[in-house]
Amino acid sequence: MAKRVLFRVKSTLFIFVKSREKKGRCNNATRRMLLSTGGFALGGRGTKLDISGCRFSLYPMDSDFVSIILNALEKTDTSGVWSQSDALSTVYRGKLAYVADAVRGLFVNAFRPGVHMALEGQFSKGCPGDCDGDSLLTREGPVPNLPLVGEKHFPVQAKIALYPMGIPDYIDKIAGVWRMAEKARLNPVSIHYATRISGDVHEVFDYLEAVCRKMEAEVPHYILCFTLSVNSPTQE
């Protein structure tokens, strides 16, 4: 039986789920064994399964941050992903469509007019150190959250940094993603170590998912780091 523990760190509430090791799970013993035996498939993906993932942390800058996060969690349908939270972040793993949909649902459900909020995360697929466990790949059919949050619109500022791994022409992949942002009219601007984009929340999430799909088709391993911000008090 899993135990759920609630605790807070500054303005962020984390939900930490303690559970027993399950068959096929990516546990630390497995990772230590792979490290000691050189078992990581450094020439390719660590699993041949269709596992995408996103690790993220949500930061509502409000004294009522606990209820904001808990209400968002309650409203977000995570039946299409494997999820786990710890003291620093939450991870969703499964098919890309359902992973991206769950992150979108959580962010939109957490939005409050006038409340500054940020979400920091990384989408990834193909890590040589990945394994077959800790995933949900049985879900089929339409994504569950977009139909519930698709009518809610608000502007988002974001920065992204893409890391296509294991290929010599990585800069061409990054340039292609820049052109995708231009085509999506997200006003890409180059900044040190990242690219800024801005647009409607659903346009931004559609773009992030499209980048992930492009990378999954073209490179063996990628990491897409992103930060989303709404209602920032910073004047530019």
Dump pLDDT digits (tens) for 139-150: 899 999 999 999
Q: What are 9's strand-pairing partners? A: 12
Which run of H or E residues covers position 11? none
Dump pLDDT digits (tens) for 177-187: 999 999 999 99
Q: Compare 207 and 137 and report the one with higher pLDDT.
A: 207
- With H, G, I as helix, E, B as strand and everything else as coil, classify residue 58: strand
- Of 172, 174, 221, 215, nearest to 195 (Cα)? 174
What residue spans define the domains of the chain? 3-18+44-130+144-230
Please give the Cα distance from 94 to 106 (Å, whole number): 16
DSSP designation for 228: E
Is the domain covering 3-18+44-130+144-230 a CATH 3.30.565.10 domain? no
Q: Compare 121 and 133 and report the one with higher pLDDT.
A: 121
- Of 196, 203, 189, nearest to 227 (Cα)? 196
Give the model's pLDDT for residue 29.
52
Angle separating helix axes 65-75 and 96-110, nearest 10 degrees: 140
Dump pLDDT digits (tens) for 73-101: 899 999 999 999 888 899 999 999 999 99
Widest Cα–Cα separation across the chain: 53
Please give the Cα distance from 48 to 17 (Å, whole number): 27
Please give the Cα distance from 153 to 75 (Å, whole number): 17
- Of 140, 41, 42, nearest to 97 (Cα)? 140
